[in-house]
Structure 1
């Protein structure tokens, strides 16, 4: 996929992704290698996003996205210009979901089983960025979609912590879906057997070599891929037993009538 028109920056996230039109005439949210989080955030997006998809969770389609900074010369913000100049070449695009609404746990209901699957998945990848303050979920055509996994797989910022990471507990008390009575143990019974070595190998193969080059302590990209697979495979087996949902959950309450009416109207369109 190649970008042909830079539309606008999206300032909701710290990485300042941009809305870009591609040569297939589709529109994509593009995350750039020149952002402060660098290429590791894109690696996390690919591994976590494609794993979620294979486990039956909804994630916008991910594409390799070639970007020429020349097409963004009209962007007036100097900070954004600097980001784009540093991001020539291969970046990551995510299918833009037009008309999607940001998830609000007080405005939308989520089935307990689905909530359990999302909480278990976030525990598996160590996602620290799905709190009720910043859900990183969308409602599109009445379905729940997961976005923005760049802050997951935190251990890859310091591979010396990768071994202990497999046994690290996961505090889900502030999770955006904690109020919907998720059952991570039931989710684990369904999903953990699906997280196999062959599945993880298929997923890590989708990460471009150039995003895995020059990783200290590794002989090459394939060795880095095996390291991701090892942590996730070990973590999948028992992470459900280390998920904490107690202590901080917000008491479930119905949203105000005006908000329910507005949401129902938007969902009907």
Structure 2
């Protein structure tokens, strides 16, 4: 993954619960920055990074993700005290996604995807335990007529309670019934065959290995950061091995929406 340095805070995106912002970086690119010091903390960035890179591995449309370094001195030029605090609390390494100018929010009545793409996205969200792609909050954009996935900070919800992780790894993920694309997901069996073949343990280890040490911090129940990383690897290896459980739940929920 590339790393860039934030050079200018452009504007907040106040529709996001963690107050992301459009920033300019030293490569002259514009990015949507997710702040480590926001209310959801570093775990939201871990989820954004891990889920996003799984999406990329699976060939799903997602903006480029970069590490972005933030100088707390940037707060001095911001008049909003809330933004000043956020910048200072997020000094150092944060995460950003390529800004997509002109992108519009997904409307299922207008931009209905084909069954293959919808099924792949539903499979991916069940695999990563993403609770936040619903009609109320689709986290999908249409850019140049292409459906694009954004905002995965609410995925990997198991890492907020590691005692539940083993149970969640083999769970059917019943919240898939709320997925905005479920009515279009008529090709779940073929999506399962295609996507599961693209993920191996080496891929899981590589993606988890991208998470900066500073984002893992001191997590109760783990002797060190290596053990913490291994818990993520173990979860996704088990999730993949037991995927028939969540695939069948998604197929059942899809049939119920017809």
1:65-144 matches, cutoff 5 A? 65-144=68-147
1:245 and 2:248 aligned: no
1:136-175 matches, cutoff 5 A? 136-170=139-173, 171-175=175-179
Residue 60 of structure 2: which of 14, 36, 57 is its match? 57
The CA distance in 1 between the partners of 2:83 and 2:126, in whole Å, is 33
The CA distance in 1 between the partners of 2:187 and 2:75, in whole Å, is 46
1:183-218 C-alpha deviation (Å, 9 max, x unpaired): 322211111122211000111111111111311111
Q: Is the 8 A contact 1:114 1:182 kept in 2?
A: no
Equivalent residue for 1:199? 203
The CA distance in 1 between the partners of 2:86 and 2:134, in whole Å, is 27
Equivalent residue for 1:40? 43
The CA distance in 1 between the partners of 2:51 and 2:186, in whole Å, is 20
The CA distance in 1 between the partners of 2:100 and 2:256, in whole Å, is 32
CA RMSD of aligned residues (A): 1.6
- State the Cα distance separating 1:248 from its structure 2 match: 7.2
Higher normalized helix content (fraction of residues): 2
1:189 and 2:196 aligned: no
Equivalent residue for 1:15? 18
Residue 215 of structure 2: which of 180, 189, 211 is its match? 211
- SS where residue 123 of structure 2 aligns? helix
- The TM-score with structure 1 as length reference comes to 0.88
Q: Is the 8 A contact 2:216 2:225 kept in 1?
A: yes
1:132-165 C-alpha deviation (Å, 9 max, x unpaired): 1110011112111111000010010111111001
The CA distance in 1 between the partners of 2:136 and 2:256, in whole Å, is 13
The CA distance in 1 between the partners of 2:19 and 2:41, in whole Å, is 12
The CA distance in 2 between the partners of 1:210 and 1:91, in whole Å, is 10
Provide structure 1 residue ranges, at least 5 long, that are not aligned to the other structure.
252-269
- State the Cα distance separating 1:247 from its structure 2 match: 8.1
1:224-260 C-alpha deviation (Å, 9 max, x unpaired): 22111111121123231232525874x8xxxxxxxxx
Q: Is the 8 A contact 1:195 1:233 kept in 2?
A: no
Greater Cα offset, 112-121 or 70-79: 70-79
- SS where residue 130 of structure 2 aligns? coil
Q: Tell me the matched-pair count.
A: 250
